[in-house]
Protein backbone atom coordinates (compact mmCIF):
# COMPACT_ATOMS: atom_id res chain seq x y z
CA UNK A 1 0.00 0.00 0.00
CA UNK A 2 1.29 3.45 -0.92
CA UNK A 3 0.41 6.30 1.37
CA UNK A 4 1.00 9.68 -0.24
CA UNK A 5 1.08 13.00 1.59
CA UNK A 6 1.36 16.30 -0.27
CA UNK A 7 2.67 19.55 1.14
CA UNK A 8 3.97 22.88 -0.03
CA UNK A 9 0.80 24.51 -1.27
CA UNK A 10 -0.07 28.06 -0.43
CA UNK A 11 -1.05 31.45 -1.73
CA UNK A 12 1.17 33.35 -4.13
CA UNK A 13 0.87 36.27 -6.49
CA UNK A 14 0.87 35.81 -10.23
CA UNK A 15 4.39 35.29 -11.50
CA UNK A 16 5.48 33.63 -8.28
CA UNK A 17 6.81 30.17 -7.61
CA UNK A 18 5.99 27.20 -5.41
CA UNK A 19 7.42 23.74 -4.99
CA UNK A 20 5.05 20.97 -3.97
CA UNK A 21 6.24 17.81 -2.27
CA UNK A 22 4.69 14.36 -2.05
CA UNK A 23 6.10 12.02 0.56
CA UNK A 24 5.45 8.34 -0.07
CA UNK A 25 5.36 5.62 2.54
CA UNK A 26 6.74 3.08 0.13
CA UNK A 27 9.77 2.79 -2.10
CA UNK A 28 8.86 4.94 -5.07
CA UNK A 29 11.46 3.33 -7.28
CA UNK A 30 9.00 0.44 -7.51
CA UNK A 31 6.14 2.56 -8.79
CA UNK A 32 5.53 2.39 -12.51
CA UNK A 33 4.60 6.04 -12.73
CA UNK A 34 3.97 8.96 -10.42
CA UNK A 35 2.17 12.09 -11.39
CA UNK A 36 0.70 15.37 -10.30
CA UNK A 37 -2.91 16.22 -11.03
CA UNK A 38 -4.99 19.25 -10.21
CA UNK A 39 -8.62 20.12 -9.84
CA UNK A 40 -9.79 23.69 -9.98
CA UNK A 41 -13.14 24.96 -8.70
CA UNK A 42 -15.92 23.47 -10.78
CA UNK A 43 -13.50 21.66 -13.03
CA UNK A 44 -12.56 18.07 -13.65
CA UNK A 45 -9.32 16.67 -12.36
CA UNK A 46 -6.58 17.05 -14.96
CA UNK A 47 -3.06 15.76 -15.32
CA UNK A 48 -0.17 18.15 -14.84
CA UNK A 49 3.03 16.12 -15.09
CA UNK A 50 4.26 12.53 -14.91
CA UNK A 51 7.54 10.82 -14.15
CA UNK A 52 8.03 7.21 -15.13
CA UNK A 53 9.93 4.53 -13.28
CA UNK A 54 12.92 5.04 -15.54
CA UNK A 55 12.86 8.79 -15.11
CA UNK A 56 11.15 9.88 -18.32
CA UNK A 57 8.83 12.83 -17.83
CA UNK A 58 5.91 14.34 -19.65
CA UNK A 59 3.85 17.46 -19.13
CA UNK A 60 0.48 18.85 -19.97
CA UNK A 61 0.75 21.66 -22.49
CA UNK A 62 -0.07 24.30 -19.88
CA UNK A 63 2.77 23.05 -17.69
CA UNK A 64 5.53 22.93 -20.29
CA UNK A 65 8.27 25.42 -19.63
CA UNK A 66 6.83 26.46 -16.27
CA UNK A 67 6.58 23.29 -14.18
CA UNK A 68 9.18 20.62 -13.44
CA UNK A 69 8.48 17.21 -11.97
CA UNK A 70 11.32 15.40 -10.25
CA UNK A 71 11.91 12.95 -7.44
CA UNK A 72 14.35 12.08 -4.70
CA UNK A 73 14.57 8.30 -4.66
CA UNK A 74 16.62 8.27 -1.47
CA UNK A 75 13.85 10.11 0.39
CA UNK A 76 10.89 8.68 -1.52
CA UNK A 77 9.63 12.18 -2.31
CA UNK A 78 8.08 13.46 -5.51
CA UNK A 79 8.24 17.18 -6.29
CA UNK A 80 6.54 19.64 -8.56
CA UNK A 81 8.41 22.88 -9.04
CA UNK A 82 6.11 25.55 -10.38
CA UNK A 83 7.11 28.97 -11.65
CA UNK A 84 5.47 31.83 -13.52
CA UNK A 85 2.25 30.93 -11.79
CA UNK A 86 -1.01 32.28 -13.17
CA UNK A 87 -4.41 32.74 -11.54
CA UNK A 88 -5.70 29.87 -13.66
CA UNK A 89 -3.24 27.57 -11.90
CA UNK A 90 -5.36 27.91 -8.78
CA UNK A 91 -6.44 24.39 -7.83
CA UNK A 92 -6.09 21.54 -5.42
CA UNK A 93 -2.98 19.64 -6.47
CA UNK A 94 -2.82 15.88 -5.99
CA UNK A 95 0.01 13.41 -6.08
CA UNK A 96 -0.73 9.98 -7.55
CA UNK A 97 1.09 6.69 -7.98
CA UNK A 98 0.62 3.76 -10.33
CA UNK A 99 1.63 0.78 -8.24
CA UNK A 100 -0.29 -1.73 -10.33
CA UNK A 101 0.65 -1.57 -13.98
CA UNK A 102 -2.11 -0.32 -16.24
CA UNK A 103 -0.34 0.90 -19.36
CA UNK A 104 -2.85 3.61 -20.17
CA UNK A 105 -2.34 7.31 -20.86
CA UNK A 106 0.38 8.92 -18.80
CA UNK A 107 -1.94 11.60 -17.45
CA UNK A 108 -5.08 9.55 -17.28
CA UNK A 109 -6.78 9.72 -13.90
CA UNK A 110 -7.84 6.09 -14.11
CA UNK A 111 -4.26 4.88 -14.48
CA UNK A 112 -3.30 5.72 -10.91
CA UNK A 113 -4.35 3.59 -7.99
CA UNK A 114 -3.08 5.62 -5.06
CA UNK A 115 -3.75 9.27 -4.35
CA UNK A 116 -2.81 11.82 -1.77
CA UNK A 117 -5.25 14.11 -0.02
CA UNK A 118 -4.18 17.18 -1.99
CA UNK A 119 -2.60 20.54 -1.27
CA UNK A 120 -4.21 23.84 -2.22
CA UNK A 121 -2.49 26.31 -4.51
CA UNK A 122 -4.02 29.76 -4.86
CA UNK A 123 -2.61 32.31 -7.28
CA UNK A 124 -3.84 35.87 -7.06
CA UNK A 125 -3.59 38.48 -9.81
Is the Cβ–Cβ distance between 51 and 24 less than 8 Å?
A: no
Is the Cβ–Cβ distance between 80 and 49 less than 8 Å?
A: yes
pLDDT, one tens digit per residue, over 69-105 is 999 999 999 999 999 999 999 999 999 999 999 989 9
pLDDT at 54: 95
Q: What is the mean pLDDT of the chain?
A: 96
Is the Cβ–Cβ distance between 60 and 47 less than 8 Å?
A: yes
Section 94-121 average pLDDT: 95
pLDDT at 1: 73
Among the residue ranges 77-86, 103-112, 114-123, the one predicted with the least confidence is: 103-112
Amino acid sequence: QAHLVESGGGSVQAGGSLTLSCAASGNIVGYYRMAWFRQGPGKEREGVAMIAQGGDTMYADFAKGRFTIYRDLSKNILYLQMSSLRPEDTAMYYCAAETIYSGGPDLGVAEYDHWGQGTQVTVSS
